[in-house]
C-alpha cells in the first residue's frame, strides 16, 4: 500500500470511526476503556521500555531470514539488530493494548505468529503471569535473541518455536487443541493470513479472540481483514486502523466497528 493510499485509508477511518461516546455495546465500551485507553502497570512498562531501548541501540550485525512478506524497510538479510528492531518492534501503546486485551478477556492459552525479538511477548507475560504463550518465529537468529530475553526475565511459561508458520503451526495446534487468543504478526500476505485464521478457527472456543497486526500493511492484507469481517463465524470485529480484532462469541450481535483512541 502506497503512502497516498494509506493516507486515504486514514482519512476514511477518521470519518467513520468512533470513540467512547459513540459506543453502545457495554462489552465494547468496557473493552475500549480497559484495553485501548488503559495502561499496563508501571513495572511492566518500565521493563518493556528498557528492553526496547536496548534493542534499538544494539549494533550487533545478524543474518535475518524473513519467511513472510518481506520488509518495506530493507531487503538486505544482514542488518544490525537496531535496524531490524526499528522496523519490527511494536510501540508501547500497541504492545500494551495486546497485553491488556489478554488480561481483560482472561485468556490462559495464547498462540503468537511472529515473535520478533520478543518484547511484546514478554510484556504479555509480565501483565498476565498465569498465561501460557506458544510463539513462532521464522528467523533462527532473531529467535535466539528472543530466547535470551525470556531467559533473562525467567519467563518459563513461553514456548518459543523456530521455523515457518506453515510447518510449525499445524502440529502446535494439534498439541494444544485450543487457544484463548491468537496474535497474527507475521507473513502479511492475504492468502497466508486467511489460511492461518482458518486453522486457528478449528482450534478455538466461544471466547477466543483473534488479533491481527498491520491490517493496512498492504492492499492484500486489508483485503484479508475485509474477508475476516464478513466471515460467517465472526460476530464482532474492531478495526483500530493498524490492528484488527475479531470475536466469534455468538452472544455478540454481528457488528464491524472502527474505533479510535481519541
Question: Which CATH number is 197's domain given?
Answer: 3.40.50.150
> Is pLDDT above 80 for 250?
yes
| Strand residue runs (E) in the chain | 61-63, 78-80, 109-113, 132-137, 158-162, 179-184, 204-213, 236-239, 243-247, 255-258
DSSP letter, residue 35: I
Residue 240: which of 69, 32, 100, 89 has the closest Cα?
32
b/e 65-91 (16+ beta carbons within 10 angstroms → b)? ebbbbebeeeeeeebebbbbbeebbbe
Q: What is the pLDDT of residues 19-54, one digit of tens each?
A: 888 899 999 999 999 999 999 999 999 999 999 999
Residue holding cell 494439534? 174
What backbone phi and psi angles, to 5 degrees, belong to 135?
Answer: -125, 135
At residue 262 the predicted structure's pLDDT band, cuts being 50, 70 and 90, is confident
Q: Which three cell numbers stand for residue 258?
A: 472502527
Torsion of CA 150, 122, 221, 104, to 10 degrees: 150
pLDDT number for residue 2: 85
| Strand residue runs (E) in 125-261 | 132-137, 158-162, 179-184, 204-213, 236-239, 243-247, 255-258
At residue 112 the predicted structure's pLDDT band, cuts being 50, 70 and 90, is very high
3-state secondary structure of 33: helix
Domain containing 177 equals: 3-258
Q: Which three cell numbers stand for residue 226?
A: 475485509
CA–CA separation, 132 vs 158, rounded Å? Answer: 6
From the CB of residue 170, how many other CB atoms can be counted at a distance below 10 Å?
12
Tell me the pLDDT of the chain averaged across its residues.
93
Number of domains in the chain: 1
Amino acid at each position: 500500500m502506497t503512502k497516498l493510499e494509506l493516507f486515504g485509508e486514514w482519512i476514511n477511518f477518521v470519518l467513520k470511526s468512533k470513540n467512547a461516546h459513540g459506543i453502545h455495546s457495554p462489552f465494547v465500551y468496557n473493552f475500549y476503556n480497559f484495553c485501548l485507553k488503559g495502561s499496563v502497570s508501571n513495572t511492566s512498562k518500565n521493563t518493556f521500555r528498557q528492553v526496547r531501548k536496548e534493542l534499538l541501540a544494539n549494533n550487533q550485525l545478524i543474518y535475518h531470514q524473513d519467511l513472510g512478506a518481506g520488509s518495506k524497510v530493507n531487503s538486505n538479510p544482514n542488518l544490525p539488530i537496531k535496524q531490524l528492531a526499528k522496523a519490527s518492534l511494536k510501540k508501547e501503546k500497541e504492545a500494551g493494548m495486546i497485553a491488556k486485551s489478554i488480561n481483560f478477556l482472561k485468556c490462559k492459552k495464547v498462540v503468537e505468529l511472529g515473535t520478533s525479538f520478543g518484547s511484546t511477548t514478554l510484556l504479555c507475560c509480565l501483565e498476565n503471569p498465569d498465561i501460557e504463550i506458544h510463539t513462532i518465529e521464522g528467523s533462527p537468529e532473531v529467535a535466539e535473541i528472543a530466547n535470551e530475553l525470556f531467559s533473562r526475565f525467567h519467563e518459563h511459561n513461553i514456548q518459543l518455536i523456530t521455523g515457518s508458520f506453515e510447518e510449525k503451526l499445524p502440529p502446535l495446534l494439534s498439541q494444544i487443541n485450543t487457544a484463548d487468543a491468537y496474535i497474527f504478526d507475521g507473513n502479511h500476505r492475504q492468502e497466508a493470513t486467511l489460511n492461518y485464521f482458518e486453522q486457528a478457527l478449528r482450534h478455538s472456543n466461544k471466547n477466543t479472540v483473534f488479533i491481527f497486526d498491520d491490517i493496512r500493511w498492504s492492499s492484500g492484507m486489508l483485503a484479508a481483514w475485509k474477508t475476516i469481517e464478513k466471515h460467517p463465524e465472526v460476530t464482532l470485529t474492531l478495526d483500530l486502523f493498524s490492528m484488527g480484532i475479531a470475536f466469534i462469541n455468538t452472544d455478540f450481535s454481528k457488528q464491524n466497528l472502527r474505533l479510535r483512541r481519541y
